Structure 1
């Protein structure tokens, strides 16, 4: 979804740290920052990024997620990046032959929410674009997070993986918050307006010769009343439909441009 409401202030709530281990492309760092900002995360940590930091391509790809980019922390080693964390998850799509819990993104978000909600710090590790995390890096984590992807094509772009985890975090921790845009169903149409619409339609159909058999008219009108009642139109929709019916009913009163061109 394009567009950003710059009038709203970002809220820096306690959230998991997102740790990218030796990311290679600035574009991926920026896209990950944007995904984080979309769902309220802001603590982005980079371990030995290949092209250094700051990175202009990352800034461009972040699409104004400045509050994330400006707070990026760079570390020389993974152990330094996770030093303050007491719960760490490692993302991978490959079996590692380790005795570690393997959980999905929904369970990961729930565990992180409980841990961080208790005043502690947690984070998620994401590996290199080409080969992910090493076994040694996965080994320091408390659990493995894997996404329910298609086994025949399990590789995700880093930013895509960050987006999934960030979304699950938001869903778990802020499920009671309203959506960013409000539903507008309009003013419900009073029943007499809906009845009037159907009666107007019935009269127009009479003039059009729709009811071939007069004795079937009552039953067909009942069916139309039932259909329109189920539609739950708002007042504006009823007014629009009444205008449509009226326009169609008066079409014989208007000159036919096709006939005029033919000289009929």
Structure 2
């Protein structure tokens, strides 16, 4: 963000980052990015020197439901406008290796940004460049910070639409309070049920004459296993039934043997 821009002209609320696309050549990539924004809760699309976005063309065809709001509401701006009005994060696959050059170094990963961007007291914009060459060194030199997606050293360059999708996915925690996926913490079995499961395991170890000197160690191992597993209530109840039946069988067999002896 330019230092000589009056801070009084900037919004102070922490709205989700805008997504800026610089000089995209393919309307389809713009549509793909708009769709990814819709998937992960981003709304403001800024376009610098965009291709023609025909409502009957490729961009709207690739945009999915984003054709209804994000794409038609996209704002065409200049690169100067971006750097003067936003804290800018330039996204690039190619970085410098150390601090001998600050054009592409230091850099953050998208996951790093998800942790840090909420502390930035300014409107922010994720800036993506052209399909073939990305953002130029001249453009990156005017941007506040660099972001890069970890990828194979042999081929780190992603398609423009792919790069934006991965980045927005990693930053979804800035925009989405919940997703379509169930909350796994809500389906974990209650601790009382899990404790009953441990008790039932203890009963089974006793019933099968598991060596007493090994029982504490075995129970610790079982607690670690179930602690990592986050069993659901249904799973825990099913296991309880199986363990209860397994515990009862030796007793039933002994009773049958005793009756046979008595007869």
Interval containing the TM-score (normalised by the shorter chain): 0.5 to 0.7
2:135 to 121, 133, 136: 133
| 1:104 aligned partner | 108
Q: Which segment drifts farther, 187-196 or 149-158?
A: 187-196
Q: Which segment drifts farther, 162-171 or 217-226?
A: 217-226
Q: 1:86/1:111 Cα in 2 relative to 1: closer, same or farther (>3 Å)?
A: farther
Q: Does the CA-based 8 Å contact 1:59-1:69 persist in structure 2?
A: yes
Q: 1:108/1:101 Cα in 2 relative to 1: closer, same or farther (>3 Å)?
A: farther
Q: CA offsets, 1:148-169, max 9 Å, x none?
A: 4333212112233223443454
| 1:155 aligned partner | 157
> Post-superposition shift, 1:243?
4.0
Q: Does the CA-based 8 Å contact 1:195-1:225 persist in structure 2?
A: no
Q: CA offsets, 1:108-159, max 9 Å, x none?
A: 56775444x3xx4332321121222234433443344333433321211223
Distance in 2, matches of 1:94 and 1:50, equals 25
Q: Does the CA-based 8 Å contact 1:84-1:121 persist in structure 2?
A: no
Alignment of 1:42-191 (within 5 A): 42-54=43-55, 56-65=57-66, 66-75=68-77, 78-79=79-80, 82=82, 85-94=85-94, 100=103, 102=105, 103-105=107-109, 113-115=118-120, 117=121, 120-171=122-173, 173=174, 181-182=182-183, 183=185, 184-188=187-191, 189=193, 191=195
Distance in 1, matches of 2:69 and 2:189, equals 37
In the alignment, is residue 240 of structure 1 matched against residue 243 of structure 2? no
Q: Does the CA-based 8 Å contact 2:85-2:123 persist in structure 1?
A: yes
Q: 1:236/1:25 Cα in 2 relative to 1: closer, same or farther (>3 Å)?
A: same
**TM-score of the aligned structures, taking structure 1 as reference length:** 0.60
Q: Does the CA-based 8 Å contact 2:33-2:165 persist in structure 1?
A: yes
Q: Aligned pair count?
A: 223
**TM-score of the aligned structures, taking structure 2 as reference length:** 0.60
Distance in 1, matches of 2:93 and 2:178, equals 33
> Post-superposition shift, 1:194?
4.5
> Post-superposition shift, 1:71?
1.9
User: Which stretches in structure 1 are left out of the alignment for 5+ residues?
Assistant: 1-11, 206-210, 250-264
Distance in 2, matches of 1:86 and 1:229, equals 50
Q: 1:194/1:150 Cα in 2 relative to 1: closer, same or farther (>3 Å)?
A: closer
Q: Does the CA-based 8 Å contact 2:93-2:157 persist in structure 1?
A: yes
> Post-superposition shift, 1:26?
3.3
Alignment of 1:13-52 (within 5 A): 14-52=15-53
Q: Does the CA-based 8 Å contact 1:100-1:142 persist in structure 2?
A: no
> Post-superposition shift, 1:238?
4.7
Q: 1:235/1:161 Cα in 2 relative to 1: closer, same or farther (>3 Å)?
A: closer
